[in-house]
């Protein structure tokens, strides 16, 4: 039922019934309170007897951000383009999927990152889940690691990093990919932070205050979004890049474009080359 309605049934005699909600979706993704306890957020509906409407069930205010994360990850899961199993990527078989784990706690401050290569959890705190782009950007890092079957580019020169400023080729590739995952999943072309401040990813060679080339994550991210665009050269979506990344590891955007796209049957000339040029990347 698309409106969020549900019915729960139990056969036999019971004194009272209620529905318990956990901050997870099947075993594909979950939100936990801390790495230590691994406990999920949970709450219970009103306790009833017999057949009765529960009315509208609301997540308690103190844990709403956990459910924002659970909800937001749905959109990425359904775009994951894994035709071979229920898992996030084709590297795992149904029933043996890796779980995407987010840790979120309202008072946590050492947060806003994907904890690679330690727990491989996404760590969020405070109001960070108010940004769907942040949720999906961090999930995008995890997804890239999954697509590469638990491998990830060696990233250097990435702290700090900014959308419009040069960092390194490895940083711009991984951060640009994560930005593109968020924008692609949400169907926009920007990064909105948890305060609501929006940064457009639109850029061309004349865009003021933007550095040039493939060390700039915004240049890489916008190139990917244009390649995946409805009128783009990759067939109107990111599916062939997802398929390609499942087979070919790329250390940086140059390797993705120059070496691995041809291996995956994707173009590097014509409109694809023009797209990169419009974002100051020439190979």
Active site residues: 138
Query: Between β-strands 100-105 and 29-32, what pairing exists: parallel, antiparallel or unpaired?
Result: parallel
Q: How far is the CB of 280 from Zn ion (least distance, A)?
A: 21
Q: How far is the CB of 158 from Zn ion (least distance, A)?
A: 8
CB of 167 or CB of 241, closer to Zn ion: 167
Closest CA to 173 of 251, 241, 226, 273: 251
CB of 63 or CB of 178, closer to Zn ion: 178
CB of 41 or CB of 256, closer to Zn ion: 256
Q: CB neighbours of 11 closer than 8 A, spacing ≥ 6?
A: none
Q: How far is the CB of 175 from Zn ion (least distance, A)?
A: 5
Contact 170, 161 (CB under 8 A): no
Q: How far is the CB of 138 from Zn ion (least distance, A)?
A: 7
CB of 70 or CB of 181, closer to Zn ion: 181
Tokens at 90, concatenated = 């084709």
Beta bridge partners of 193: none
Closest CA to 224 of 179, 185, 259, 158: 179
CB of 180 or CB of 272, closer to Zn ion: 180
Q: How far is the CB of 246 from Zn ion (least distance, A)?
A: 21
Contact 214, 220 (CB under 8 A): yes
Closest CA to 243 of 12, 79, 14, 28: 79
Binding-site ranges for Zn ion (CB under 5 A): 175, 178
């Amino acid at each position: 039922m698309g409106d969020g309605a549900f019915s729960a049934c139990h056969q036999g005699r019971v004194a009272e019934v209620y529905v318990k909600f956990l901050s997870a979706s099947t075993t594909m993704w979950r939100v936990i309170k801390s790495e230590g306890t691994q406990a999920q957020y949970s709450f219970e509906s009103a306790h009833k007897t017999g057949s009765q409407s529960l009315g509208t069930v609301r997540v308690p205010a103190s844990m709403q951000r956990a459910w924002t994360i659970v909800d937001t990850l749905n959109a990425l899961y359904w775009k994951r383009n894994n035709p071979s199993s229920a898992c996030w990527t084709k590297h795992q078989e149904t029933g043996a999927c890796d779980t995407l784990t987010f840790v979120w706690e309202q008072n946590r401050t050492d947060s806003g990152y994907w904890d690679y290569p330690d727990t491989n959890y996404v760590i969020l705190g405070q109001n960070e889940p108010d940004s769907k782009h942040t949720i999906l950007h961090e999930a995008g890092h995890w997804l890239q690691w999954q697509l590469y079957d638990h491998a990830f580019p060696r990233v250097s020169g990435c702290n700090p990093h900014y959308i419009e400023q040069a960092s390194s080729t490895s940083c711009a590739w991984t951060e640009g990919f994560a930005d593109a995952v968020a924008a692609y999943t949400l169907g926009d072309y920007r990064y909105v932070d948890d305060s609501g401040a929006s940064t457009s990813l639109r850029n061309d060679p004349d865009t003021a205050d933007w550095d040039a080339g493939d060390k700039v994550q915004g240049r890489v991210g916008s190139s990917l979004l244009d390649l995946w665009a409805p009128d783009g050269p990759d067939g109107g979506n990111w599916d062939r890049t997802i398929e390609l990344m499942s087979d070919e590891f790329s250390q940086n955007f140059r390797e993705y474009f120059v070496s691995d796209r041809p291996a995956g049957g994707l173009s590097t000339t014509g409109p694809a080359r023009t797209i990169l040029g419009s974002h100051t990347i020439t190979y």
